A and B are shown apart, each in its own frame.
Chain A
Amino acid sequence: MDLSTLIQVLDSGVRLGIPLLLAALAGLYSERSGVFDIGLEGKMLMGAFTAGAVASITGSAWLGLIAAIGGSLALAIIHGLASITFRGNQLISGVAINFLASGLTVLIGQNLFQLGGRTPPIKGAARFESIDLPGADALADVPVFGTIYHDLISGHTILVYLAFAIVPLTWFLLFRTRFGLRLRAVGENPESVDTAGVSVLRLRYTAVAIAGILCGFAGAYLATSAPSAGFGKEMTAGKGFIALAALIFANWRPWRVLGATMLFGLLEAVAIRFQNIDVGLFVVPVQFMQALPYVLTVVILAGFIGKATPPRAGGEAYVKER
């Protein structure tokens, strides 16, 4: 394998890893606050649809992004109502949200555009085009470093750079601010936070809303970040579940989320690029590469390698003492 093939695969790994990164970070906020979120897939799908629809109608990618956040946030609020206010089963609520998004996106999309659930193709200002970082063209001919800079680091859309920036931001917010401390505490031991006079409900709603916003970003990336050109039916295709797997694989930590999502993105890129891989003794089938993120997550969950320790109060509604 030569350098240019390697860079192509890495580049495609980054592109495939970004929606996973954004969705996994979304899950990180929600689950760290003690609210399980298996509705990442649905929120991302809704975000992708509203982004594609609004961007194609208004011709503005930024309005599309705002719409994506709105669409995803609406589902996040339902999840908040069900799991925080009404103390319902958070997992069942997540399942419902996934199906709601899956059905509504097609129903509304078909009604608006009559394209079988797709949104009209977009280009130009209606989508986020790739950005050339300063000096990318000038350095393109420099061996190795120039190629990496030009082909791998430069030439992504603003959403990609934004997604990477959210990782340190999340780390700082969760581990270096008062808000972050409280948010983590509410996921481990909500009674202590309540005793300190801080509202458990408000913290959890905030976390669930942040999750909604980040899933909106992930959806907008899928539908309106070049080279994609609009929303397609069932566009997320299980990405929300791989993101959830990555979050567990990363043990609910922001920097590890970055590593896990990029790894899973890379696995997908390798599966797409090489299909069945002949390693000499035997052939690794493409289906194995596709299943690998899930297998790895099960192995981690089982504690055979490493140990997954979810937030302790995860999944339980908080009932204030009277």
Chain B
Amino acid sequence: MTRLPAWADVVLIPLMSIIAAFAISALVILYIGENPWDALKIMVDGALGSAYGWGYTLYYATNFMFTGLAVSIAFRASLFNIGGEGQAMLGGLGVAVVALAVPWPHWTLALPAAMLGGIAFGAIWAAIPGWLQARRGSHIVITTMMFNFIGAALLNYVLVNIMRPAGSMDPASAKFPTGAHLPTLYDLPLIGGYFNKNTPANISLFIALAACVAVWYLLFRSRLGYAIRAFGKSEKAAVYAGISPFRVTMYVMLLSGGLSGMMAINNVMGEAERLVLNAVEGAGFIGIAVALMGRNHPFGVFLAALLFGFLYQGGAELGLWTTIPIELRTVVQALVILFTGALDNMMRMIVERLFALGRRRRAA
């Protein structure tokens, strides 16, 4: 076994994984009969080439930062929270309940309250599987997965039977009051000029960025973060050091669910301005890819979320202008998860061989 330098582990392996994922996607595009290079140009142009494009790219990236951080923080404790989708759904419910509760006079009052609503609902939805894992030994992957489906059924029930305005056929809540509308990036002073009025990127982006910094501080500069990482590395050693597995599991799941739930300020409050059935659109699952790609580090999550934001907006443009269906995004997402998450050891072995080869050359 060759020891790899830190930069190879942190930068090279994820980079190679994404190159592999893109290479296979290029083959798929060739199979469809389009030119991969042209496709990439359309993606770059559509996602980054205009104020309209990056308005959407940043909007998607905001969602993915929240869910990516949520998955990362759980991964750091060796917990695989696959329930980000359901937690974000419930977070949407929390945000909608708060936004519709009172006629908010101004968004500066509505936003903190809605954040608390989203965090509370998302956290509860993650805490139940957390408790079941810590106290009853139920496998957290299975329970969080089940809670995605239970959450979807619950949301469906609430929207159809309780929140749907009288006379409406749509399973959706009423529009939020004007005082609960968030300013888009276009509405902001100084930077507004760089954005398009019709794009959904909004002030939640800055909250997502702040969340990245906060999670970094929590994980690497706080006592709890140390406990989380120690527990994730070795439960036995953590227990020996006086760390309570129950408390770490509960804290981590509350934080993870809260982060997923907080995503709702972006998609529900910032974009739709009402709660619809399919508000999350798979962002909870993309969080898994983002966390793996970002090596469970908040800065990595930030970069990976931007990449997936680009992929999402660019993929939509491909669906619009070429014969490549929009589902190409799902394939790239799957390949990124496969290479960075499941075939990680394969990539590592390849890199180790290359390094060993390089060393022998130098020695010779």
Contact = CB atoms under 8 A, between A and B. Distances in A.
Interface of A: 38, 78, 81-83, 86-93, 95-100, 102-104, 106-108, 110-111, 117, 238, 241, 244-245, 248, 285, 287-288, 290-291, 294-295, 297-298, 301-304, 308, 310
Contact of A106 (B33, B146, B325): B325
B44 interface: no
Given A107-B28, A297-B142, A303-B136, A93 B341 contact: yes
Contacts, number: 152
Given A99-B333, A103-B330, A107-B32, A301 B139 contact: yes
A92 B157 contact: no
B145 A241 contact: yes
B338 A93 contact: yes
A302 B136 contact: yes
Nearest to B132: A302
B341 A96 contact: yes
B147 interface: yes
A43 to B, nearest CB: 13
Contact of A294 (B141, B146, B332, B345): B146
B142 A301 contact: yes
B48 interface: no
Interface in B156-212: 156-157, 160-161
25 contacts: A38-B141, A86-B342, A88-B345, A89-B80, A98-B334, A99-B330, A100-B331, A103-B328, A103-B329, A103-B334, A104-B28, A117-B325, A241-B146, A244-B145, A285-B157, A287-B157, A291-B150, A291-B153, A294-B147, A294-B149, A294-B153, A297-B146, A301-B138, A301-B139, A308-B138
A103 B260 CA distance: 24
A303 B143 CA distance: 12
B343 A111 contact: no
A92 B28 contact: no
Contacts of A97: 334, 338
A271 to B, nearest CB: 10
Contacts of A96: 334-335, 337-338, 341-342
B330 A102 contact: yes
Contact of B325 (A107, A248, A288): A107
Nearest to A290: B153
A153 to B, nearest CB: 32
A18 to B, nearest CB: 20
A99 B285 contact: yes
Contacts of B33: 111
Given A91-B141, A285-B161, A303-B137, A107 B342 contact: no
Contacts of A99: 285, 330-331, 333-334, 337
A312 to B, nearest CB: 13
B338 A82 contact: yes
A97 B337 CA distance: 9
Interface centre among A90, A95, A98, A241 (most CB of B within 10 A): A95
Contacts of B335: 96, 100
Contact of B82 (A83, A90, A95, A287): A95
Contacts of B345: 86-88
A288 B153 contact: yes
Contacts of B275: none
Interface in B265-323: 285, 288, 292, 323
